[in-house]
A and B are shown apart, each in its own frame.
Chain A
Amino acid sequence: MKRELLDELMGLGVDVVSTPFECQFYGFDVTPLPKETSWVFRGTTPDAVLRPKNTEEVVKIMDFANKHKIPVCPRGGGTSGYYQSVPRSKGIVIETLALNNISELDEKEGIISVSGGVIWSQLDWELKKKGWTLKTYPTSYKSSTVAGWIQTEGLGVGSLAFGSIKKLIKEIEVVLPSGEVVWVPNEGLVETKSGNLKFEDFIKSEGMMGIITSVKLEVRRLPESTATYLLKFKDKNDFALVSSRLAEVSSIFFIEFVNGSYMDLLVQSGYHTPKHSKEEVFAVIRLEGGKSDVGKGEKEIAALLAEHTEIAQLPQEEAEEEYGYRLKYFRIKNAYSSVTPADLSVPLSNLGQYLDKVSRFRFEFAYKGEILTKEQCGLMFFYVLANELSFVRFMSAAPYQMEFILSAMKMGGSPNGGIGLLNTPYVFGLRTQSEREAFIQKKETFDQNWIMNPGKWTDPPFFLRPSIYFSGMKLLEPVCWLVGGIVGRW
């Protein structure tokens, strides 16, 4: 950015930094990439970062950016993993964390108004002081923002009970790329100077349609009762067999499961685990709700255990301990610092079939799953091969990751975590062609200067285009086998 423009930006009266030292940290998200890729992903370090404190300051920034056609990349906690919140052509990053106001709770309606940059854990802390809590949150609870999750429409802890975040939002305030401020209700159209918009235009839009500054969100009273279980299954098939039934248990709130290989990584990381074999599967189950509902759920689980005597119930303290670790599943990095996940979803009805299929892959792998809704299951396959310090190792893991995701897609699944830049090759599995075209058309109408988060799946670099990417991956497959064989672990 030219000096005069930077000076004008500084003069807006919004908190700003523009030194290379300060800006460098906004050129990354959670995904480690080898240095050899930096020539591909150029322009990821912004020229300036701004931290607006209120909607008016956001409007000032958008007016400036529009006037000078400067790209704007919104960033909440920067916890997404596909470069959604990393710029592609320098410009400005708007870090939303100073939009952190938590207004009064409407106890009658069970709705709280918050600024878009509020972190989930902070909101929950404030709610708990009043005897209330969140209905759902991502496991990046301690660092991701309310608006950031809306923008990726994620599922997480509690979505099994309450559905996706989309259902829990009543209204959002958005600063459009033009600088116009609108309140968008969950249902119906809203009129703007450039045309009509609806809620769906912002959900999953990954910072490409405007900045969400305020959110009205449904919350709940602290549950009257809870129950936590840790169950041990002989193998993945035994778990898959009852998974749909578990998801239907009264007052079910959360189900997470891991395989024995994941437990091995925990042991190697210095943690105590129950005795296990590699094939066994362990599931943490949490019920939350009114006393009678939880009681009913407990009876249903007791009936299931009586029917399936092969399932073992482990002690209560161990169940509580595992549930307490639900945000810390990456602690297995104590064993291998290069542990990286392939993150995807499959229909719950196909879970057994999917796990069967991938277990035929050549290497042993650890996984963690979460039943996200009554129909959908999230899975993370952890692999140690993708050491970002070695370009060869990093690249040789990619075809495998591709296999995991494509296999899921063939069974009605998809990659998890949004598209951003790095999931562009899989865009066809996440948006239909007509959805993609409609989105691009909307963007052209409402963001005529194409300033909002450009360079992502809507206009990606050449070799992230699906056809190019998949051809490249096919060529890489033999390298993958070779390196994987040498490393001995996927």
Chain B
Amino acid sequence: MKKYAAIEKQVRKCIQCGSCRVECPTGDDVGWISCSPRAKVLFIRDFLLGRKPTKVKMSEEFARRLFQCTLCGRCGVECITEIDFPEVWFEIRELVQEEGVKLPIVETVSGIIKDTKNVANQPNDDRPNWLKRAKLATDPTKVEKADVVYYVGCMSSFYPQSQSMARAFAQILEASGINFAIMGTSEHCCGFPMISTGKVHEAKELMYHNQEEIKKYGAKTVVATCPACTSMWKKEYPKLSGKPNDFEVMHATQFVLKLMKENKLKLVPPKQEMQVTFHDGCDLGRNGGVYDEPREILKMLPGVVFTEHSESKDISVCCGAGGDLLMTNPEMADRIGQKRAKSLSEVAPVAVTCCPSCKKQLKDAAKHAEVKLDTKDLLEMVADMLEKPEKPEKPEKAEA
């Protein structure tokens, strides 16, 4: 089928060796080969090209298996013919949509985003509520022109476990004296959950809105704390709109490292030494290529002892929250999260992450698995160490 030529080219490379199966978190959880990348690729190949006497029909059974995937990209590392995973999974999800197979849960999730403009099913006007506790000198939603726009994203805007991350980053930006803005109520979901459900048209609508809104700030840099939002702005928006960005897109860790190297942040060591390990989230690490910056920051932080986990960087294990799995298959996501939390807790009592979804997921999973693991966001660690402005001394009582 011409329409799906790009997918066809990729799946035809598959030799059915199964090297992608063992490390796939969802494939491992389910066990049956139908949930492995190997079988999903075979199904699509037969659907597109035919290897059976009767034509393979797109089915709900297949779609259900397809969505049992965190889009973590580990299969891309393992694949011996180097198939372009996870990109192909996005394209196959789109194909499933176009072939008219609708999974109720997928429709619900995308319906929520379409209606509310966020994944949390909250009024979008509540988006900047997290700012109330950020204690900033200037309200960044009121800033009209700025060099830097902080795109907050749904997770950090609405979910209490991740809001602290947004506050931390805003405090860091303020402490470094940067002129920055936040889109506030005009910010809409970046569209990542839409493209990951195969709804590209809907993702584009969100993109057009965000692109239009961001224009007015005249920003040179757009920074996001969420790796999925970063990836949307950096890679997907130019691809979907066919136009390059006229600003630089960075993940917050990259931006903070720059500030630290420029000596723009004054940090005070914590009272107690902290033993930590690092969890590479899939969207920032394997799929975003950002491995070094968080580690450089960790090594620069006073009072922090960092131990590398044996499954890190490109072989880091997914926390289970990606690819909408948390919404489509919450129990499976939790089992995957518990495994990762246990494994991280064997290395250090604190796991540092740079992703709001990973942070929330690992915190919940550690609780469910009853393991002693605290999950901290790297930006929060930096913000906690910011030198507090000295309180103005109380004026001495005037001599009588």
Interface residues of A (CB under 8 A from B): 15, 17, 19, 21-22, 25-26, 28-30, 32-35, 38-39, 49, 51, 77-79, 95, 97-98, 119, 121-122, 129, 140, 142-143, 327-331, 333-334, 337-338, 388-389
| A26 neighbours in B (Cβ, 8 Å) | 33
Assess whether B61 is in contact with A32, with CB atoms less than 8 Å apart.
no
Partner of B17, one of A49, A79, A95, A121: A79
Partner of A331, one of B12, B31, B82: B82
Quote the shortest CB–CB distance from B17 to chain A (angstroms): 6
The 7 closest A-B pairs by CB, nearest first: A337-B12, A143-B18, A142-B19, A25-B39, A333-B13, A21-B61, A333-B81
Assess whether B51 is in contact with A35, with CB atoms less than 8 Å apart.
yes
Partner of A334, one of B13, B49, B310: B13
Bound-state Cα–Cα, A33 to B51, Å: 7
Interface residues of B (CB under 8 A from A): 9, 12-13, 15-19, 21-23, 31-34, 38-39, 42-43, 49-53, 59, 61-62, 78, 80-82, 310
Bound-state Cα–Cα, A377 to B16, Å: 25
Assess whether A334 is in contact with B82, with CB atoms less than 8 Å apart.
yes
Assess whether A29 is in contact with B16, with CB atoms less than 8 Å apart.
yes
Assess whether B22 is in contact with A15, with CB atoms less than 8 Å apart.
no
Quote the shortest CB–CB distance from B346 to chain A (angstroms): 11
Assess whether A28 is in contact with B15, with CB atoms less than 8 Å apart.
no
| A34 neighbours in B (Cβ, 8 Å) | 51
Question: Which residue on chain B has the smallest CB distance to residue A340?
Answer: B15
Partner of A327, one of B9, B16, B80: B80
| Known A121-B22, A143-B19; contact A25-B9, beta-carbon cutoff 8 A | no
- Total A-B contacts with CB atoms under 8 angstroms apart: 93
Question: Which residue on chain A has the smallest CB distance to residue B23?
Answer: A142
| A338 neighbours in B (Cβ, 8 Å) | 12
Question: Which residue on chain B has the smallest CB distance to residue A22?
Answer: B34
Assess whether A330 is in contact with B42, with CB atoms less than 8 Å apart.
no
Question: Which residue on chain A has the smallest CB distance to residue B22?
Answer: A119
Assess whether B34 is in contact with A25, with CB atoms less than 8 Å apart.
yes
| A51 neighbours in B (Cβ, 8 Å) | 31-32
| A29 neighbours in B (Cβ, 8 Å) | 16
Question: Which residue on chain A has the smallest CB distance to residue B54?
Answer: A35
Quote the shortest CB–CB distance from B68 to chain A (angstroms): 13
Bound-state Cα–Cα, A17 to B30, Å: 12
| B22 neighbours in A (Cβ, 8 Å) | 119, 121-122, 142-143
Assess whether B34 is in contact with A21, with CB atoms less than 8 Å apart.
yes
A-B contact pairs, 28 of them (CB 8 A): A15-B31, A21-B59, A22-B32, A22-B34, A30-B16, A30-B17, A32-B51, A35-B52, A35-B53, A78-B33, A79-B18, A98-B31, A142-B18, A142-B19, A142-B23, A142-B78, A143-B21, A143-B22, A327-B80, A328-B80, A329-B80, A331-B81, A333-B81, A334-B13, A334-B81, A338-B12, A389-B49, A389-B50
| A328 neighbours in B (Cβ, 8 Å) | 80-82
Question: Which residue on chain A has the smallest CB distance to residue B60?
Answer: A21
| A35 neighbours in B (Cβ, 8 Å) | 50-53
Assess whether A77 is in contact with B18, with CB atoms less than 8 Å apart.
yes
| A333 neighbours in B (Cβ, 8 Å) | 12-13, 15, 81
| B21 neighbours in A (Cβ, 8 Å) | 77, 143
Assess whether A330 is in contact with B33, with CB atoms less than 8 Å apart.
no
Assess whether B62 is in contact with A21, with CB atoms less than 8 Å apart.
yes
Question: Which residue on chain A has the smallest CB distance to residue B59?
Answer: A21
| Known A97-B31, A142-B78; contact A19-B52, beta-carbon cutoff 8 A | no
Bound-state Cα–Cα, A34 to B81, Å: 21
Quote the shortest CB–CB distance from B78 to chain A (angstroms): 6
Quote the shortest CB–CB distance from A141 to chain B (angstroms): 8
| B310 neighbours in A (Cβ, 8 Å) | 129
| B51 neighbours in A (Cβ, 8 Å) | 32-35, 388
Bound-state Cα–Cα, A34 to B51, Å: 6
Q: Which of A98, A119, A143, A329 has the most CB of B within 10 A?
A: A143
Bound-state Cα–Cα, A107 to B79, Å: 33
Bound-state Cα–Cα, A330 to B16, Å: 11
| B18 neighbours in A (Cβ, 8 Å) | 77-79, 140, 142-143
Question: Which residue on chain B has the smallest CB distance to residue A31?
Answer: B16
| A329 neighbours in B (Cβ, 8 Å) | 80
| A331 neighbours in B (Cβ, 8 Å) | 80-82
| B50 neighbours in A (Cβ, 8 Å) | 35, 389
Bound-state Cα–Cα, A49 to B31, Å: 12
Bound-state Cα–Cα, A129 to B38, Å: 28
Quote the shortest CB–CB distance from B164 to chain A (angstroms): 35
Assess whether A49 is in contact with B32, with CB atoms less than 8 Å apart.
yes
| A25 neighbours in B (Cβ, 8 Å) | 33-34, 38-39, 42-43
